[in-house]
Structure 1
Amino acid sequence: MGRTGQFWKTSSIISMAFALFLVVMAILVNTTSLNQQVWLRVLFGVSALNFTLRASVPLILGALSGILCERSGIINIGIEGMMLAGAFAAFVAKVATNSWPLPASLAVGVATALLVGGLMGLLHALLSIRFRMDQIISGTVIIILAAGFSAYLFDRSAVAEGKFGPVRIPLLADIPVLGSVLFENPPITYLALLLVVVIHVALFHTRWGLRTRAVGEHPRAADTVGINVNRYRYVNTVLGGMLAGLAGGFLVLEAVGQFQEGMTAGRGFISLAAMIFGNWNPFGALGAATLFGYTQALQNELLLAGVTQVPRQFISMLPYVVTIVAVSGFVGRVRPPAAEGKVYETEGSSE
């Protein structure tokens, strides 16, 4: 436990130092003569910071999804599939309600993404808890199911009209450099950042959070004091599925505006890496998601800057390489919840 606590302390310092470095460099580059340096504008310009935040949002939501599931003892590698199902559901709902007023149409899209993500989470919980399927296999089934159904049912002639626009927060948005990055964003971006705080407080400062962590660490002990272990696992896996569905909804309703086959492009797996790097802690996952989001932003900025000395394919690999390096360098130093992936059977019960 001491080593885990020490790692969390170390990862917090790394995340905060990285965020502070980005902030300081962004302010310097965008308010001083340093902005005359092209490579500094590419690395720390407002455009790079904006793209970092946009790229981080689905990773944050996906990591929070994994945290809820795995803190209660359910391995969820199916986040990628839940994201894709949520994205497709949001697109279908948005297309079906194109004639409605835009706010109502977008609200239906968000609700549909949450519903379908929750149903995928319920499916994963049923396979893992009731039918005792290997949880890795169950997650893989969800990924294949989402990819297959979305590709088969996708109407390529359908077009979703409109998406969420930025909501400017008065006064805060006027802060130089950071104001336009942090306080002039669409609603799901604000919601993702708020959920980091809400889930952290809920996990570590409420009775529900204490019971959730107990279920993931010592289910037998939790059962002996009257906690319904499998009920908590069901609830948390469904909530996790809803967050993953919302991540997919973000891609369609806020980021891209349309659906494309396989549009999650590995974000679910990167979210898992962020969760592990963040030691199953919401703020740790936020820092890790920001790091991975920045690598995607850097890839985008380098391509826009016309960097041709390095093959485009190598630049596109950057986010995934950083993910592999981060997880391979730190995964051995973290400890997942002790009962993760283990089916729990109550005494005298078939479940």
Structure 2
Amino acid sequence: MSEALIRYALSFFVIFSLASLAAMICERSGVINLGIEGFMIIGCMIYALLPKALAIINVDYDSYWIIIFIASIILAILGTFLFSLLHSFIVLKLKTDQIVSGTVINLLAQGIGFFLVGVENLGSSGNIQGTISPILQETPAVSIYFIITLIFITGLFGYFKFTKIGTRHIAAGENPNALDTAGVSVNKYRFIAISVSSCLAGLAGIIYTINIKVQFAVPDVNGIGFISLAIMVIGQWKVLLIVFVSFVFSIFFTIGKMINIPNFTFGLAPLLPFLMSLVVMVIASKWSIAPKEAGIPFDKTLR
């Protein structure tokens, strides 16, 4: 039981950290990525789709699981990147409202998911089974995902704190006119931020499929993407604070996942983490200071 709790807690920590940092990377550049949920759905959907498609053509999964596993992750991240081009085009080229674009991404991702789940053979029995490697099913509580996430967090903190590129990244969301005056392309930084953010969210969706969901029965990630946006706000768009809040939320979600109280208000225990996030975000929003140009399209002619 204790090992299961640790495994769930670390899994949620990794997922929340990656997804909320993905949102932060994008918003630091001045672009609101409300589509984190949608990009997570695309990531976990493509990841679960490949082994199912190969099973239809009778490919022996057990003999080639490592190749299929790695290929599934690569294709899922690549597919998420291609999907992110839509968001980039809408907000950077068309300069459409970024909230509207993010909503479109979320709805479109769910629509694609429902379509694929309903395809005969591909979504048999109403679900698409995700690929799970034999080794990863037996990994200790401190998994490779956790270690990679810690390395990524360290690198991201150093990127924003100590590098010139990181400083320019922040400037794209705080003072894009000054960045443009210096001869640096604001939209280039924003495009890269959207791409990295979306791929990172897709990776969070993949890990969610491996450790939490297992079967892609319904095209959603149980609101994890939206909770991650709340974590970003509570974490004040700061790497280490976001990581800390992700840890706290992972504990609450683990409790909500593992709690087993008979007849507890008709099974409302799993809702407690969501209610907590709502209350905490409302309280924290009073002191939240978002990047100044977040959500505002950049137009150098208005300088």
Return the TM-score normalized by structure 1.
0.77
Whether 1:162 aligns to 2:162 is: no
Distance in 2 (CA, whole Å) between partners of 1:292 and 1:71 is: 22
- The one-letter code of the counterpart of 1:150 is G
Task: Report Cα offsets for 1:264-313 as digits up to 9, x if no partner.
Answer: 0100000001111111122211111111111111112222xxx1263243
Q: Give unpaired runs (5+ residues) of structure 2.
A: none
**What RMSD, in angstroms, separates the aligned Cα atoms of the two structures?**
2.1
User: Alpha-carbon deviation of 1:228?
Assistant: 0.4
Whether 1:343 aligns to 2:300 is: no
User: Alpha-carbon deviation of 1:167?
Assistant: 7.8
Whether 1:213 aligns to 2:213 is: no
Greater Cα shift, 337-346 or 148-157: 148-157
After superposition, residues 233-312 of structure 1 pair within 5 angstroms as 233-303=190-260, 307-308=261-262, 310-312=264-266
Whether 1:321 aligns to 2:282 is: no
User: Alpha-carbon deviation of 1:116?
Assistant: 1.8
Task: Report Cα offsets for 1:224-279 as digits up to 9, x if no partner.
Answer: 11110001000110000000111111122444433221330100000001111111
Partner of 2:27: 70
1:52/1:159 Cα in 2 relative to 1: closer, same or farther (>3 Å)?
closer
SS at match of 2:225: helix
Partner of 1:201: 158
8 Å contact 2:29–2:170 — kept in the other structure? yes
Greater Cα shift, 154-163 or 196-205: 154-163
User: Alpha-carbon deviation of 1:46?
Assistant: 4.2
8 Å contact 2:256–2:269 — kept in the other structure? yes
8 Å contact 1:197–1:282 — kept in the other structure? no
User: Alpha-carbon deviation of 1:78?
Assistant: 0.6
Q: 1:94 aligns with which of 51, 54, 59?
A: 51
1:301/1:346 Cα in 2 relative to 1: closer, same or farther (>3 Å)?
same
1:279/1:161 Cα in 2 relative to 1: closer, same or farther (>3 Å)?
closer
- The one-letter code of the counterpart of 2:103 is T
After superposition, residues 108-147 of structure 1 pair within 5 angstroms as 108-147=71-110
Partner of 2:187: 230
**Higher Cα Rg: structure 1 or 2?**
1
8 Å contact 2:116–2:123 — kept in the other structure? no
8 Å contact 1:82–1:143 — kept in the other structure? yes
Q: Give unpaired runs (5+ residues) of structure 1.
A: 1-40, 169-179
- The one-letter code of the counterpart of 1:343 is P
1:208/1:108 Cα in 2 relative to 1: closer, same or farther (>3 Å)?
same
- The one-letter code of the counterpart of 1:127 is I
Partner of 1:330: 284
